[in-house]
Amino acid sequence: MSAIKTASANSSKRKFPLEHTRNIGIAAHIDAGKTTTTERILFYAGVVHKMGEVHEGSATTDWMDQERERGITITSAAISCNWTNQHGPYAGICNQINIIDTPGHVDFTAEVERSLRVLDGAVGVFCAVAGVQPQSETVWRQMTKYNVPRIAFVNKMDRVGADYFAAIESMRERLKANAHPIYIPIGAEDEFRGVIDLASMDALVYDPADESGMTFEKTEIPADYVDSANDYREQLIEALADFDDDLANKYLEGEALSADDIRQAIRTATISLDFCGVIPGSAFKNKGVQSVLESVVNYLPCPLDLPPMKGENEKGGEVEVKPDDNAKFAGLAFKLMNDGYVGKLVFMRVYSGSLQKGTALYNPRTGKTERISRLLVMKANSREDIDVAYSGDICAIVGGRDIVTGDTLCTKGYDVRLEPPTFPEPVISMSIEPKTSADQEKMATGLQRLSEEDPTFVVSSDEETGQTLISGMGELHLEIIKDRLFREFKVGAEAGRPQIAYRETITANAEGEGKFVRQTGGSGQYGHARIKIEPLERGAGIEIVDKTVGGVIPKEFIKPTLDGIREAANNGTVAGFPVVDFKVVLFDGSFHDVDSNETSFKMAGIFAFRDAMAKASAILLEPVMDVEVETPEDYQGDIMGDLNRRRGQIQNVSAKTAFVSVCASVPLVEMFGYSTIVRSLSKGRASFSMEPASFEEVPPNILNTILETSGRVPVRN
């Protein structure tokens, strides 16, 4: 499949050539079985000798106390294993697989975002009963955003109600995925006993006496599955013909297709991003995971299979970074972690060149060099020292001081900035105050380190109350942050009730004028600016431009004026919340030869913005969530009635086996404590998930309540 025609890109000292390296992520909706699947992969690859269980708190990649107590993944964990395929063109060749197990809960979506940014391929895990779930859609969009080829593992085939082909159909409908089975199951629910490989047309039947899943027999396809296997193989070949001309020609001419012909076509189609092969199994019952490993090696790309990574130089020109051990070094810092033993760890994906410990790397963002004192390979929360990291590797470095998530580290003189991952804005905040003066310093240190680790966790101060505010992606996110503060940093603190991160925007064009004039007896202060403001589409962000002509504002005062406008946008005129989705044009002003200075024009920018906002029909926006509730039909009416009372808009109601799925858009402020309510309404039988959807205008009656209860006074001129 992947011929060793690019061997010159490999260092003679590396253990696994680039052709036999896979960097993959395991991603899915919460409770779809990602961590259990990862644990089985590690067991079959010989990394662990006893399978850990999520429900027992013993899974290798769920190492944080908070993960083991709650049975969920909170932080992405990196770990490596080796696998030698038994079948296909890679048979007998040992491959290195670097795995990142990602969270499924929407509050920790940033962990998925930054992981997918540096991975070459992914395994999407789906539930055979529920099919595509809300967070499945989110991670699928993230994979598409970063052009990550993927295969799908339909897990939980042992569960009551498991339907492999219905799960594939939901992928086609809800994800618009070109999904096709490359294996089909033998049996389902408590009769699930093996899989059929549609490439080789062999059956893999597991020995029921061996609960570890280590013993299975490669046999002929059972007679009652032959017709079905032939039909699905035919459909698979027809789908692959769109991606592989050789296979298409053989198929049209009636030639027999070998297993390797089909495997090569699956690989080509998968790497094209327009095809997704699907595999059935049950990670908990230890069936089908070996087929996932074989498919990772056979179908997901090595670093050489993908287009060169694109970067920019200092002037904004495009730079291509190719995987080559002999090239200049370039790597992307995608995650920071505070380790109790070695201090600050920076997780890095090496895109080109090789890195030895003790090397000094250049950071284009800061213009400084960072000396790398140690190089590590991470194995969840344990680590192994290495002397050198090569192109395509995922490693951790120790010794960098001024490095943040998204920084490029490179050889000095190699001017390249790789595209960093992007992260959503926080939607919820709460106040937190230290109990004693001794806790003040510990809390400041803890909050700084946690905000360095997590780009979606933001620390700020309320200007009116002086309180410290922490902001994040949801109630659970802030609860975990608070718990880590107490446990890891031994901080005694009191936390307030979570508050919504509202935003403000404008709905009309307006002009504003700001003058700052002050005479103090000596030299005075004078600044004058005129601006135009106009609304942009939701989610467009902020655009502030200078279009002054003729020197009406001297060049040295333009930047302070724009800085003043940007600072004023942090406090809107409706309720003092940040203003978003607008464009400001600075078009006129005046100055005084003696009295004008930077401070005067910064204040003029602030006054001009407030003046324009007062005329631009400003409104308050609130975060709205996409909520999906899965409930037995008996409780559907109560659930829908409760969502309506929460200002929810029902978007869709559909039947899923024994359950009904209710999809709605609901303001986040109405969802506090909903987990308790939904359990009460359904006698504990319903479950729900939600994810950020958009910001929408707050209704007038709700706005009045917010202004009355928030303690905020609208900012006025």
Identify the pLDDT of residue 706: 74
Domain 504-617 class in CATH: alpha beta
Q: Report the pLDDT averaged over residues 134-161.
A: 89
Q: State the span(s) of the chain assigned CATH 3.30.70.240.
A: 621-709
Identify the pLDDT of residue 64: 54
- Domain covering 18-304: architecture: 3-Layer(aba) Sandwich (3.40)
Q: State the span(s) of the chain assigned CATH 3.30.230.10.
A: 504-617
Q: State the span(s) of the chain assigned CATH 2.40.30.10.
A: 311-418
Q: State the span(s) of the chain assigned CATH 3.30.70.870.
A: 428-501
Q: How far apart are CA 686 and CA 673, in angstroms?
A: 15
Identify the pLDDT of residue 697: 93
Identify the pLDDT of residue 3: 41
Q: Which residues of 658-694 are buried (b: 16+ CB within 10 A; e: fewer)?
A: ebbbbbbbbbbbbbeebeeebeebbeeebbbbbbbee
Q: What ranges in 463-597 are assigned the alpha helix state H?
A: 475-488, 555-568
Identify the pLDDT of residue 1: 45
Per-residue pLDDT at 68 exceeds 80 = no
Enumerate residues 6+ apart whose C-beta is below 8 A from 28.
Answer: 34, 104, 124, 125, 126, 135, 136, 139
Q: State the span(s) of the chain assigned CATH 3.40.50.300.
A: 18-304
Q: Would you call 591 helix, strand, or coil by DSSP?
A: coil
Of the chain, the percentage scoring pLDDT greater than 90 comes to 44
Q: What is the pLDDT of residues 300-315, one digit of tens each?
A: 999 999 999 988 888 7
Q: What is the pLDDT of residues 263-322, one digit of tens each?
A: 999 999 999 999 999 999 999 888 999 999 999 999 999 999 999 998 888 877 889 999
Write down the residue that tokens 């052709």 correspond to. Answer: 19
Claim: this prediction has a pTM higher than 0.85: no
- Domain covering 428-501: architecture: 2-Layer Sandwich (3.30)
Identify the pLDDT of residue 47: 80
Token representation of residue 647:
């200002």
Identify the pLDDT of residue 529: 96
Per-residue pLDDT at 69 exceeds 70 = no
Q: What is the pLDDT of residues 464-522, one digit of tens each?
A: 567 788 888 777 888 888 888 888 888 888 887 777 888 999 999 999 999 999 876 66
Q: What is the pLDDT of residues 380-414, one digit of tens each?
A: 566 788 889 999 988 889 887 889 889 999 998 88
Topology adopted by domain 621-709: Alpha-Beta Plaits (3.30.70)
Sign of the CA dihedral with 59 first, then 63, 68, and 74 last? negative
How is the chain split among helix, strand and coil, in percent rounded to 5? 30, 30, 40
Q: Report the pLDDT averaged over residues 677-690.
A: 80
Pick the CATH number of 311-418 from 2.40.30.10, 3.40.50.2300, 3.60.15.10, 2.60.40.1120: 2.40.30.10
Higher pLDDT: 706 or 580? It is 580
* Residue 2: how many other CB atoms lie within 10 Å: 19
Q: Report the pLDDT averaged over residues 535-557.
A: 92
Identify the pLDDT of residue 105: 64
Identify the pLDDT of residue 605: 96
Identify the pLDDT of residue 714: 47
Q: What is the pLDDT of residues 93-127, one digit of tens each?
A: 899 999 887 776 666 777 888 888 899 999 999 99
Q: How far apart are CA 416 and CA 410, in angstroms?
A: 7
| CA-closest candidate to residue 104, choices 687, 707, 706, 493 | 687
For the CA atoms of the chain, what is the radius of gyration? 28
Q: What is the pLDDT of residues 616-626, one digit of tens each?
A: 999 999 999 88
Per-residue pLDDT at 55 exceeds 70 = no
Mean pLDDT of the chain: 86
